[in-house]
Amino acid sequence: MNIMETRKNEPVRIGFYVCHCGVNIAHMVDVEAVAKYVATLPNVVVSRNYKYMCSDPGQEMIQKDIREQRLNRVVVAACSPLLHEHTFRGATEAGGLNPFYFQMVNIREHNSWVHTDRLEATRKAMALARAAIQRVPHHKPLEVKKVPINPDVLIVGGGIAGIHAAITMANAGKKVYLVEKEPSIGGHMAMFDKTFPTLDCAMCVLSPKMATVGSHPNITLWTYSEVVKVDGYVGNFKVTVRRKPRYIIEDLCTGCQECVANCVYKEPKFPDAFNLGLGKRKPVYMPFAQAIPSIAIIDPEVCLNFKRGKNPDGSYTVSDKCKKLCVVACGDRKAIDFSQKAEDKEITVGTIIMATGFKTFDPRRTPYYGYGVYPNVYTALELERVINASGPTEGHLVMRNGKEPKRVAIVHCVGSRDENTNRWCSRVCCLYSLKLAHLILEHTDAEVYNFYIDMRTPGKSMEEFYNRVAEEGMHLVRGRVADVYPDPNDTASGRLIVQAEDTLTNRILKIPVDMVVLSVGLEPRPEAEDLRRLFNLSCSSEGWFLERHPKLAPVSTFTDGIFLAGCCQGPKDIPDSVAQAGAAAAEAFSLIDKGYVEQEPNTAFVLAEECSGCKSCIPLCPYTAISFNEETKKAFINEALCKGCGTCVAACPSGSIVQNLFEDQEIFSEIDGVLAPLPQ
């Protein structure tokens, strides 16, 4: 016989369990005293304390008591409900009760971990426990709603993390939308020459993956596009993607680049963004040789066939002033379309993976390093391009003046581990600095100085990598560089003096060099804040997307169905970005393959008999879940639309709206419980 049925009309019988959490709770809360106190409260049948309530024996204890002591309510005082509510609801259900007869009391995160007075912490635990004991008699059996999940997935950002997640999902037969802001996927990795710790060529490993994305039947790739609107919830997100005009019809362009070759500009003239302005391109161009999709793009800012300047709506007006040799060259393919407009696409997906990456620190914020002032000061990313065989100098390490440097200083921790800029360690800079030092030695006869604060090389094979390249003849100086300034004895050549204190020998060093490379740190992207709002995510105080739990839910977010991969969650290297992308894909799968999402039954409903028909609630609902029945003159809440915020409940003047799990009576008894006098 169904236990729940037989127990419907029985008096309330509560089982109470307080957890020691090893010593995490017990060291600050006298758990025995709490259990003893709770045993004296009305309706409490059993009151126990146990070392680890979430362990199997702990959960079995609850189930056994439900059966043997005929419990019909369960209260556990332990960690945060955000962590283990699910576990104990499960145990309650396994014991034969409706899982919503359970209530959790947070005495770890909200108590033992944050307080220092054992007596006060114990009294607080008693008060919180009492609130739950008074609350549970009002609990009603509820049913979890199952909503079917849309199996399609959206991935935002086409760096290595987004690429890996997209291929993983697509290979398993899921339909993937990959949205990338730039004209090509690839992200930062596409800019590198070689990668630590293996020193294999970045493009050799990346470009096959990029090509797979471009040709995979299950992947819809939208580059030069951005998400502009997100509605709905896990299982059913409605997303609007804006495709910016590239003035080339993607389906018709074959990537031949005849247009580029025949442009009225015979020579490239405009700074090339992919090469960070170190190289030049024409108004019509291919983002870079291995770009995916392999489709040209026209820059209306400089193309002669457009009027100068943007219209207020962001579009450009065709001037028709150019001879349009590109169009002639394109010929029958007819791929060029100057009238192309931004286009909004609406898609529905069940899950979303954020992989929007990072930006590098702008060293203009540390003016003492002279970036932007002295032409021979470079960022590490710029050096990546200069040293890259497909970069602006075709891999010849020459400076802006065309000369090869004889001495190079690499300055670590620029915009990292610094109170005045960013406090965090960017994790990859020591390693990429060593990589760059190795590459400089490989390309030139230069002397290389690495100025570091601490040499941080954690991770598999990384220390070995350090040991290997450190022996190649670079100078390693332990000390933060204080200043970079022109050599007063040699103003003509652009030579610079790097001043630092060598903290191992306690000497001030002034080293003349030809080139300075700033190992800039990793930062959240400037638009991360907008993205966070758009996708309803949280950010850490630094601005990285916040994971649901730093240890146990590292790729989940507080918004169900949205996952994180790569550097948008924090600085990390490529192996970790890829690992996280795999994890995010797996999390998305486990949702999709279940076929449905379970929704907390915390929706609201109107007690029709009591509704006065005042309509106060109707405009309050952000999901327009409330409608008005003109015949009965009563409000009605569509359960499928209600998300359970409770705003209408708090507003109804006649108290006729009830929110499941958060009924007025439940809250009032909690208020009463936390304030009730405690034994002295």
Partner 1 sequence: MSDSTNKTPDGNWTPRIVAFFCNWCTYTAADLAGVSRMKYASNIRVIRLMCSGRVDPQFVVDAFAKGADGVLIGGCHPNDCHYVEGNYKCLRRYQMLKRMIADMGIEPDRLRLEWISAAEGEKVRRVVNEMVETVKQLGPLGIPAKFEQWDKEMNALAEHVAASQGAGAPGSSGQNKPQTAQTAHV
Ligand X SMILES: Cc1cc2nc3c(=O)[nH]c(=O)nc-3n(C[C@H](O)[C@H](O)[C@H](O)COP(=O)(O)OP(=O)(O)OC[C@H]3O[C@@H](n4cnc5c(N)ncnc54)[C@H](O)[C@@H]3O)c2cc1C
x/- mask, ligand X, residues 362-401, rule CB under 6 A, reads ------------------xx--x-----------------
Among 30, 85, 152, 182, binds ligand X (CB under 6 A): 182
80 lies in the binding site for ligand SF4 (CB under 6 A): no
Nearest to 193 by CA among 393, 440, 387, 465: 387
Beta-strand runs (E) in 487-625: 496-502, 507-513, 515-520, 522-524, 562-564, 596-599, 604-606
Asked if 577 interacts with ligand X (CB under 6 A), we say yes
Residue 124 near which of ligand SF4, partner 1, ligand X, none (CB within 5-8 Å, type-dependent): partner 1
Q: Is 570 in the site for partner 1 (CB under 8 A)?
A: no
Q: Using alpha carbons, select from 479, 475, 572, 564 the residue that is nearest to residue 522.
A: 572
659 is a site residue for partner 1 (CB under 8 A): yes
**CA atoms of 79 and 103, how far apart (whole Å):** 12
Contact (CB, 8 A) for 35 and 48: yes
* Residue 426 CB, nearest approach to ligand X (Å): 8
| Number of CB atoms found within 10 A of residue 467's CB | 10
Out of 481, 520, 531, 649, the residue judged to bind partner 1 by CB under 8 A: 649
Q: Which residue, among 597, 611, 675, 596, has the nearest Cα to 648 in the 3D structure?
A: 611
Considering the complex, what minimum distance in angstroms separates the CB of residue 270 from ligand X? Answer: 20
Residues 6+ apart with CB under 8 A from 99: 89, 90, 92, 93, 144
Query: Using CB under 8 A as the criterion, what x/- string covers residues 341-380 for binding partner 1?
Result: ----------------------------------------
Interaction between residue 355 and ligand X (CB under 6 A): yes
What CA–CA distance (Å, rounded) separates 396 from 226?
36
Q: Does 192 bind ligand X (CB under 6 A)?
A: yes
Give the nearest distance from C-beta 620 to ligand SF4 in angstroms: 5
User: Which of 6, 461, 612, 665 lies at the binding interface for ligand SF4 (CB under 6 A)?
Assistant: 612
Instruction: Provide CB contacts within 8 A for 96, sequence distance 6+.
Output: 3, 4, 63, 66, 67
242 DSSP β-pair partners: 226, 344
Residue 524's binding partner among ligand SF4, partner 1, ligand X, none (Cβ under 5 to 8 angstroms by kind) is: none
Smaller CB separation from ligand SF4, 114 or 614: 614
**Cα-flanking dihedrals φ and ψ of residue 260, to 5°?**
-65, -45
**Closest Cα partner for 126 from 674, 571, 496?**
674
Please say which residue, 262 or 647, places its beta carbon nearer to partner 1: 647
Instruction: Closer to partner 1 by CB, 206 or 234: give it.
Output: 234
Q: Give the pair of three-digit tokens for residue 124.
A: 């607080």
Contacts with partner 1, 127-156, as mask; x by CB under 8 A? xx--x-------------------------
Q: Is residue 82 within the footprint of partner 1 (CB under 8 A)?
A: yes
Binding mask 89-128 for partner 1 (x = CB under 8 A): -----------------x-xxxx-xxxxx-xxx-xx--xx
Q: Which is nearer to ligand SF4, 356 or 659 (CB)?
A: 659
Work out whether 646 is an interface residue with ligand SF4 (CB under 6 A).
yes
Is cis: bond before 293, omega within 30 of 0? yes
Helix crossing, 462-470 with 429-443: angle to 10°? 30
Of residues 142, 205, 325, 650, which one binds partner 1 by CB under 8 A? 650
Rule CB under 8 A: is residue 22 a binding residue for partner 1?
A: no
Nearest Cα to Cα of residue 136 among 196, 223, 59, 76: 76
Provide the 3-class DSSP secondary structure of residue 496.
strand
Among 232, 255, 395, 613, binds ligand SF4 (CB under 6 A): 613
Range 225-264 burial, b when 16+ CB lie within 10 A, else e: bbbeebeebbbbbebebbbbbbbbeeeebeebbbbbebbe
- Least distance from C-beta 415 to partner 1, angstroms? 21
Q: How far apart are CA 107 and CA 95, in angstroms?
A: 24
Span from 49-57, 117-125, 300-308, 357-365 in contact with ligand X (CB under 6 A): 357-365
Which of ligand X, partner 1, ligand SF4, none binds 110 (CB below 5-8 Å, type-dependent)?
partner 1
CB of 597 to ligand SF4, least distance (A): 17
The single residue among 66, 414, 617, 658 that binds ligand SF4, judged by CB under 6 A, is 617
CA dihedral 308, 309, 311, 312 (to 10 degrees): -160
The phi-psi region of residue 415 (left if phi > 0; otherwise alpha if psi is between -120 and 50; otherwise beta) is: left
Give the footprint of ligand X on residues 141-180 (CB under 6 A): 156-162, 179-180
Q: Which amino acid is at 99?
A: P
Residue 461 or 612 having the CB closest to ligand SF4:
612
User: Quick check: 640 binds partner 1 (CB under 8 A)?
Assistant: no
Strands (E), 166-294: 176-179, 194-195, 200-201, 219-222, 225-233, 236-243, 270-271, 280-281, 284-285
Beta bridge pairs of residue 314: none
Q: Exposed e or buried b for every residue in 66-78, given b needs 16+ CB within 10 A?
A: beeeebbbbbbbb
Q: Is 659 in the site for ligand X (CB under 6 A)?
A: no
Per CB under 6 A, which of residues 516..535 are in contact with ligand X?
525, 527, 531
| Residue type for position 619 | P
Q: How far is the CB of 562 from partner 1 (least distance, A)?
A: 12
- Asked if 439 interacts with ligand SF4 (CB under 6 A), we say no
Judged by CB under 6 A, does residue 567 bind ligand X?
yes
Residues numbered 502 to 541 that lie near partner 1 (CB under 8 A) are 533, 536, 538-541
Do the Cβ atoms of 227 and 534 come closer than 8 Å?
yes
Q: Which DSSP string do the residues of 56-103 spell out, in sequence order?
A: HHHHHHHHHHHHHTT--EEEEEES-HHHHHHHHHHHHHHTTS-GGGEE
Which range touches ligand SF4 (CB under 6 A), out of 84-92, 212-220, 388-396, 605-613?
605-613
From the list ligand X, ligand SF4, partner 1, none, pick the one residue 108 interacts with, judged by a Cβ distance below 5 to 8 Å according to partner type.
partner 1
Of the candidate spans 297-305, 387-395, 508-516, 641-649, the one that interacts with partner 1 by CB under 8 A turns out to be 641-649
Which CB atom, from 124 or from 194, has the smaller least distance to partner 1?
124
Residues at the site binding ligand SF4, with contacts judged by CB under 6 A: 603-604, 606, 611-617, 620-621, 623, 625-626, 635, 637, 642-648, 652, 654, 656-657, 659
